[in-house]
Amino acid sequence: MPNSLLPVNEQLADKVKEMLPDEFQQSLNKTLITQAFNVTYDKEGNPRFYVNRTGLLIFMEKKFRAKKAKYSMWPEFLNPEEEERIRKALRIPDDEPFIAMKGIVEITYPDGTKERFEDIGTASVKDCYHNRLVEMASTRATNRAMRLATSLGFTSVEELPEQEFKEQQEETRQNKKKIIEGETIDPDTPFKELPDHTRIKILAETDKLFRKIALKESDRRGEHITVDQIKQEMLEEFGVSSRKELNYKQLRELWKKARKRLEELEQKEIEELKENEEEIEVENLEELKNLQEEIFK
């Protein structure tokens, strides 16, 4: 498989969790969700989630181990007639290499009863990574069977055709770049209407600046200054008490003001250090002069 899509971070994990079947709401923590899913972003910055194979295996464990059930999975080749019907249904040319396989997941419960889930996975030269048709068809088939067994409605990463996968990667990179640069967002958009990705990024970056400013101000004033104090001081300039009351343009202005304030504090530190160094040099010269006078008396 080529380089994976963007990983889901902890901020997005809550959003993914809301979309999961009820039976997984309590058993999955954020760490497992970040391992189980990948994400891309559309032009508006909204996330699109895909479950990966590791994630499907996590869901299988959570669902069936809890019931003390055992499970197994395997792919099977279809007979030529079945494969030909699928080829025609997908309109794959007769001269194009093509594989269709059946994925099977079998659950064995403690009382000995069995339950089976089956689905089809296909691969052709146009939608397969590195032309490894058999491996890709078998992976897609067993992934789809696991999706049925776990009642997940997410497309798996491995089901994306190679070209679509590459396009998704490039689209995600470009959209992230545009979002960061503010090219796709109306400046008057209120905070609550901003894309999730943008809200998370703005809050994280301004919080980081507020923390640094609070530390610098604490050293400068000789007293403990909290992040909340800095935040309120800066929000007063906008006449609000929360960043959620600002629009996108104001949020960017807040970030710029915070960055400028931090730069000014850092510059003051440098100037104070230089002054201290000069004072020390003067004191050392005075001591040296006094010592010379003593020696040559």
214-261: pLDDT as tens digits: 988 888 888 888 999 999 999 999 999 999 899 988 998 999 999 999
pLDDT, residue 65, reads 86
Please check the confidence at residue 53 and state whether its pLDDT lies above 50: yes
**What confidence tier does 284 reach under pLDDT thresholds 50, 70, 90?**
low
Judged against a pLDDT cut of 50, whether residue 292 lies above it is answered with yes
At residue 183, the pLDDT reads 46
> Which structure tokens are listed for 13?
């994990």
Residue 167 has pLDDT above 70, yes or no: no
Give residue 268's pLDDT.
83
Query: Within a 10 A sphere around the Cβ of 207, how many other Cβ atoms?
Result: 14
**Chain segment 81-135, per-residue pLDDT in tens:** 999 999 999 999 999 999 999 999 999 999 999 999 999 999 988 887 677 899 9
Q: What is the pLDDT of residues 170-218, one digit of tens each?
A: 555 555 554 444 445 777 788 888 888 788 888 888 998 999 999 888 8
Q: What's the confidence (pLDDT) of residue 166?
A: 52
Cβ contact 33:50 at 8 Å: no
**Contacts of 169 by beta carbon, 8 Å cutoff, 6+ apart:** 3, 5, 40
Task: State the pTM of this model.
Answer: 0.56
Q: Region 149-177: what's the mean pLDDT?
A: 68
The CA distance from 238 to 234, in Å, is: 8
Q: What is the pLDDT of residue 59?
A: 93
pLDDT for 29-52, tens place per residue?
Answer: 888 898 899 988 776 777 889 999
In order of 70, 138, 290, the CA distances from 108 in angstroms are 5, 22, 94
Q: Which 8-state DSSP code applies to residue 64?
A: I
